[in-house]
A and B are shown apart, each in its own frame.
Chain A
Amino acid sequence: MIHSSMRLPSLALSRRQALLGLATSFTLGRASLALAAAPGDRRFVVVILRGALDGLSAVVPYGDKALAALRPELMMGQPGAAEGLLDLGGFYGLHPALSGLHAMYAAGELLPVHAVAGPYRIRSHFEAQDYLEYGADHAMSSGWLNRVAALMPQTKGTTDTAFSVGAVVPLLLRGPQPVGSWLPKTFAQPEPDLYARLAALHRSDPVTGPAVAEGLKERGFSKATLAGSDEPANKYAFQALCSSAGKLLAAKDGPRLAALEIGGWDTHAGQKNRLAGPLKQLDEGMVALKTALGDQWGKTVVLVMTEFGRTVHANGTGGTDHGTGSVAFVLGGGVAGGRVQANWPGLGPGNLFENRDLQPTADLRAVTKGLLAQHFGLDQAALARVFPESERAAGVSGLLRA
């Protein structure tokens, strides 16, 4: 199953590149951006956190008495303590790396949605990411964001404002509505975490093991970097892409839909060290997006989502394994934020899904449908085409200010 993406006319590239402000030597790592056209002046941005974010570390329910005993090694300081959580009203606290999001929360522009999951209950990254992007628990010919673009009236469908930065258009935006792809001429390099996994695989090999270890040392990767306690090498990639996305979306004749993605969430080991970097990148990226959008921030809705959550218990290597319920974020100038949207299932005995995961009490499709209905005015029939077989996940109202 390979989707070929269109090649763009070369003329437009220099202008795009200028708008993006990306140097040709820029390495994108696991961040990517794709954009599509839509009528009107409302903007919609979807950020995929590929690899499964531990929602309980991003928005910590520190008020739940069961939490500390389930994952003692992953606990952070209480709100008010040095390096402590950033309080969200007495029960939840944001991870300390999310200070920009915390400021948006204070301004009423951030709405965390907790204990949320898609309709599938599988713990395979690949299938779950596919379903998250198809908007269904089976394969489809298009991603749900592409269907949104197709369903909106008077979509021009020009390729000029629709394109993807990176090697491939994400599944989320693939489909009949045209999206091109643009790849900066760089030799992409993986994140330190992937190097670390490969170094581990090669370690026992008498020939390649020493070569890989030595090569990483020569490239300046310290043992600490590979253990995950340092910042990723290309820590500005996501922020730069967010800034570029904001500038393009803000333009009068620019695109209206954007799909961003950022990796680094698959924290099976050393999670406390490993998670701070990606969270900080996400935080800085969202601030950069808001700044670049300027006045258009008020007409923009951002949905940040991940394929599934992680186990509530910490595992034997200071990390967490694939789980179910996680957290999503809704951001924007018109978001009814400054609160946490959750029907909290609790973490006590008998409350966990399959005795291991955060029990989902909200459907990601219901959240998304609520946003699309209010933001773009999509009716029930249109929403049913965006998310087929989602009758039981009725759109959540009140996520945006009227």
Chain B
Amino acid sequence: METRTAHALIRFGLGRKGAEPLPADPQAWLAQQLEGPDPALRVAGATTEDGLLAIREQRARRQEKEGANPVRVLYRAEQAKYVANLLSTDVPFRERLVTFWANHFTVSLKRGECAATAHAFIREAIRPHVTGRFGDMVLAVMRHPAMLMYLDNAASFGPDSYVGTRQRKGLNENLARECLELHTVTPASGYTQADVTAFAKVITGWSIEIGKDPVGYVYRRFAQQPGDKVVMGRTYGEGEQAGVALLAWLSQHPSTYRNLATKLVRHFVADTPPEGAVRRVEAVLARTGGDLKAASLEITRLPEAWTPLTKLRSPNDYILAVLRAVDLPADKRPPDVPGLMAGLGQPLLTAPLPNGWPDTATEWAGSEAMLRRIDWAYGFTGRVAALDPDEVGRLALGPLLSQATLTQMQRAGSRRDAMTLLLASPEFQRR
């Protein structure tokens, strides 16, 4: 395996799956993965409508103790499909981008009912736009019931709206604030508290229907704050289209491009993103009006993206890389992947805060966190004791497998110890 191939598989992918064929041209392989619609969308899954109906059912039966929670049943089934896809996908670069954007627009199970729509959110608001335009993704996210629930906009009412005046309900700025701070322009753009409040007023009425059919996103005219609102110097009138226009403007703001370019380069290149690399991706976003496919391809063309790997795999990346490397045959009982992810500190779709999971080594390389990886690797290797560690190492890491690790593996007292040394080695932690 050539070093560029290893980098394509590891830096841009989820690690090589067993002895899967190697791409002849690593860069072309990456580009190819962004062609056409996301293949994961071919597998049927629960829709937002299914999820909201499950919430309705669960709310109605809350008093009764019997039977399974329909939200939990739905989530477990979706989670199993999601994990199975990550373990077997042939378009790992696209999956990495899906994970990146789903984390950029975090919806977390910390808000319990979000479990009902969290996977539908990824399928409906993230996947269709990973190779499309950022503005379309922002709009899809901001009108998705999962996000409207997670960041409370469904409970936000214009203080002077019909509902606001009669039911004494008021504004909730949560979604507007995070959209400015995290999703688009960031504080670097210089917005003020007044801008946050005005933005929140613009998107009053962006809500969810759960109680009656049809369930789903709904614009509630009677919750919309009347009158004009001024956000970052621009005036927006009443109605849903004002919010659509505001999001379109924010999604094409230079500060937004700067934010996205920095995060993308930090994710794929280095914890401290090289300025030149950020500028190149930023320029592509500006030139194309936020074309995410063009931006993703630009990252693969950065010389900095083919230098030695320095990023630390997040716990979930690490688990997936190990499981793909050993490529358990179908007759082996698969490990409880979501349980493992929780055990190593990154429970699936359960980031603590709206800013999502961190993306730097210092956040993941805690002392106990590293030892847990070692202990898990050791525990796991007991299940794959018949595999040849040298072979697994050669297939998964190719030229990145260090002589020091190889020497320790060859000196190990058992296959299991050798496999542990491989899976817990420094190079296996890198991507």
| Interface 9-residue window, one of B5-13, B226-234, B422-430 | B422-430
- For B426, give its contact among A129, A194, A201 (CB under 8 Å): A201
> Is residue B370 within 8 Å, beta carbon to beta carbon, of the partner chain?
yes
Q: Across the interface, which residues of B come within 8 angstroms of A217, CB to CB? A: 367
Q: Across the interface, which residues of B come within 8 angstroms of A264, CB to CB? A: 413
Q: Produce 1/0 per residue, A200-227, CB < 8 A to B.
A: 1110010111111111111100000000
Whether the Cβ atoms of B404 and A190 lie closer than 8 Å is: no
Closest residue of A by beta carbon distance from B382: A167
A138 to B78, CA, bound (A): 46
Whether the Cβ atoms of B414 and A263 lie closer than 8 Å is: yes
Q: Across the interface, which residues of A come within 8 angstroms of B332, CB to CB? A: 2, 4
Q: Across the interface, which residues of B come within 8 angstroms of A214, CB to CB? A: 367
A208 to B364, CA, bound (A): 10
> Is residue B295 within 8 Å, beta carbon to beta carbon, of the partner chain?
no
Whether the Cβ atoms of A129 and B375 lie closer than 8 Å is: no
- What's the nearest-Cβ distance from chain A to residue B360, in Å? 10
Whether the Cβ atoms of B361 and A207 lie closer than 8 Å is: yes
A23 to B388, CA, bound (A): 32
Q: Across the interface, which residues of A come within 8 angstroms of B365, CB to CB? A: 207-208, 211
Q: Across the interface, which residues of B come within 8 angstroms of A218, CB to CB? A: 367-368
- For A126, give its contact among B312, B367, B418 (CB under 8 Å): B418
Q: Produce 1/0 per residue, B11-53, CB < 8 A to A.
A: 0000000000000000000000000000000000000000000
- What's the nearest-Cβ distance from chain A to residue B410, in Å? 8
> Is residue A195 within 8 Å, beta carbon to beta carbon, of the partner chain?
yes
Q: Across the interface, which residues of B come within 8 angstroms of A50, CB to CB? A: 413-414
CB-CB contacts below 8 Å: A165-216 with B: 166-168, 183, 187-190, 194-195, 197-198, 200-202, 205, 207-216
Q: Across the interface, which residues of A come within 8 angstroms of B375, CB to CB? A: 187-190
Q: How many A-B residue pairs have CB under 8 A?
A: 121
Whether the Cβ atoms of B382 and A212 lie closer than 8 Å is: no
> Is residue A71 within 8 Å, beta carbon to beta carbon, of the partner chain?
no
Whether the Cβ atoms of A219 and B371 lie closer than 8 Å is: yes
> Is residue B334 within 8 Å, beta carbon to beta carbon, of the partner chain?
no
> Is residue A121 within 8 Å, beta carbon to beta carbon, of the partner chain?
no
Given contacts A201-B405, A207-B312, contact A126 B387 (CB under 8 A): no
> Is residue B110 within 8 Å, beta carbon to beta carbon, of the partner chain?
no
Q: Which of A2, A30, A210, A266 has its CB near the most chain B CB atoms (within 10 A)?
A: A2
> Is residue A51 within 8 Å, beta carbon to beta carbon, of the partner chain?
yes
- For A2, give its contact among B362, B384, B410, B426 (CB under 8 Å): B384
Whether the Cβ atoms of A198 and B374 lie closer than 8 Å is: yes
A208 to B311, CA, bound (A): 11
Whether the Cβ atoms of A126 and B374 lie closer than 8 Å is: no
Q: Across the interface, which residues of B come within 8 angstroms of A209, CB to CB? A: 426
A194 to B415, CA, bound (A): 12
> Is residue B211 within 8 Å, beta carbon to beta carbon, of the partner chain?
no
Q: Across the interface, which residues of A come within 8 angstroms of B382, CB to CB? A: 166-168, 183, 188
> Is residue A3 within 8 Å, beta carbon to beta carbon, of the partner chain?
yes
Whether the Cβ atoms of B425 and A189 lie closer than 8 Å is: no
Given contacts A188-B379, A198-B424, contact A263 B370 (CB under 8 A): no
- For B388, give its contact among A126, A194, A201, A202 (CB under 8 Å): A126
> Is residue B369 within 8 Å, beta carbon to beta carbon, of the partner chain?
yes
Closest residue of A by beta carbon distance from B416: A30
Closest residue of A by beta carbon distance from B384: A2
Whether the Cβ atoms of A201 and B379 lie closer than 8 Å is: no
A187 to B382, CA, bound (A): 11
- What's the nearest-Cβ distance from chain B to residue A305, in Å? 15
> Is residue A12 within 8 Å, beta carbon to beta carbon, of the partner chain?
no
Whether the Cβ atoms of A202 and B426 lie closer than 8 Å is: yes
A219 to B375, CA, bound (A): 12
A175 to B174, CA, bound (A): 62
Whether the Cβ atoms of B411 and A268 lie closer than 8 Å is: yes
Closest residue of B by beta carbon distance from A29: B378
Q: Across the interface, which residues of A come within 8 angstroms of B371, CB to CB? A: 212, 215-216, 219
Given contacts A2-B332, A197-B421, contact A263 B426 (CB under 8 A): no
Whether the Cβ atoms of B424 and A51 lie closer than 8 Å is: no
Q: Across the interface, which residues of A come within 8 angstroms of B113, CB to CB? A: none
- What's the nearest-Cβ distance from chain A to residue B40, in Å? 28
> Is residue A52 within 8 Å, beta carbon to beta carbon, of the partner chain?
yes
Q: Across the interface, which residues of A come within 8 angstroms of B379, CB to CB? A: 167, 187-188
A41 to B332, CA, bound (A): 36
- For B417, give its contact among A1, A202, A263 (CB under 8 Å): A263
A218 to B367, CA, bound (A): 8
- For B421, give its contact among A168, A189, A194 (CB under 8 Å): A194
Whether the Cβ atoms of B367 and A215 lie closer than 8 Å is: yes
> Is residue B386 within 8 Å, beta carbon to beta carbon, of the partner chain?
yes
A125 to B385, CA, bound (A): 13
- For B378, give its contact among A194, A202, A211, A219 (CB under 8 Å): A194
Q: Across the interface, which residues of B come within 8 angstroms of A210, CB to CB? A: 367
> Is residue A329 within 8 Å, beta carbon to beta carbon, of the partner chain?
no
Whether the Cβ atoms of B429 and A3 lie closer than 8 Å is: no
A/B interface sample: 16 pairs, CB < 8 A: A2-B329, A2-B386, A4-B331, A4-B332, A52-B413, A125-B412, A183-B382, A187-B376, A190-B378, A197-B421, A201-B404, A201-B405, A201-B421, A205-B426, A212-B374, A263-B417
Q: List 6 extra interface pairs beyond A168-B385, A194-B421, A215-B366, CB under 8 A.
A: A30-B417, A125-B415, A198-B425, A201-B421, A208-B429, A218-B367
Show the binding face of B for A, using Cβ within 8 Å: 312, 328-329, 331-332, 361-362, 365-371, 374-376, 378-379, 382-389, 404-405, 408, 410-418, 420-421, 424-426, 429
* 3 nearest CB pairs, A to B: A51-B413, A167-B382, A266-B413
Show the binding face of A for B, using Cβ within 8 Å: 1-4, 30, 50-52, 124-126, 129, 166-168, 183, 187-190, 194-195, 197-198, 200-202, 205, 207-219, 263-266, 268
